[in-house]
Amino acid sequence: MKKRILKWTNRIITGVLMILLVGVAITVLSTKLTGGDPQLFGYELKTVLSGSMEPGIQTGSIIAIQSVTEGEKSSFKKGDVITFMEEDNKLITHRITDVTSTENGVLYTTKGDNNNADDRNPVLADNIVGVYKGLTIPYIGYLINFAQSPNGSIAFMIIPGLLMLGYSGITIWKTIRQLDDKDKVIDVKEM
């Protein structure tokens, strides 16, 4: 019974380490190749760097936003939470407080839930990148920001690899020891 438990524990640990290694490698490589943020099931994962949307969206969280097409950019209504590009190429996620149609297109007035006043500049429909659909994972944003840095990429590729290598070494050492023990038992029986 003890051997069976150890065998399954071994398989589970090996599987988890392998999934971790492959998952991190795929995330890091896809992020580096696309030059953008990680994606999961068609949603872009964005890190929240300010407290303007607290308490609903906390600083350091990651949020999932759904990309929008050109036709969808003019169809948002008051209360929707959008992610848009500001003048200095900075992404902001705020709630729409007013919608204005002009001859140049639709303008959205936005505000962070934790802010006292509306944002100074209205948002052009063309500047909308995505819409927030309510998925938030607290504190993981700090980890993702680190993973996207050069040091983080190295750490998240090397650490799981070293763990896997170390665990493989221990498993091989245990197997060799068991084989040596069996050889000693056979030698004793032959005498």
Among 30, 50, 101, 149, the active-site one is 50
Burial class (CB in 10 A: 0-12, 13-18, 19+), 124: middle
Among candidates 69, 56, 40, which has minimal Cα distance to 131? 69
Containing 29, the helix (H) or strand (E) segment is helix 2-34
Q: What share of the chain is helix, strand, coil (3-state, %, to 5)?
A: 45, 25, 30
| Residue 75 is among the residues annotated as catalytic for this protein | no
The DSSP annotation for 134-168 comes to EEEETTHHHHHHHHHSHHHHHHHHHHHHHHHHHHH
Alpha-carbon distance of 47 to 141, in angstroms, equals: 5
| CA gap 42, 36 in Å, rounded | 13
Distance of alpha carbon 149 from alpha carbon 70, whole angstroms: 32
Angle at 104 (CA atoms; ends 101, 105), nearest 5 degrees: 45
> What residues are labeled active site?
50
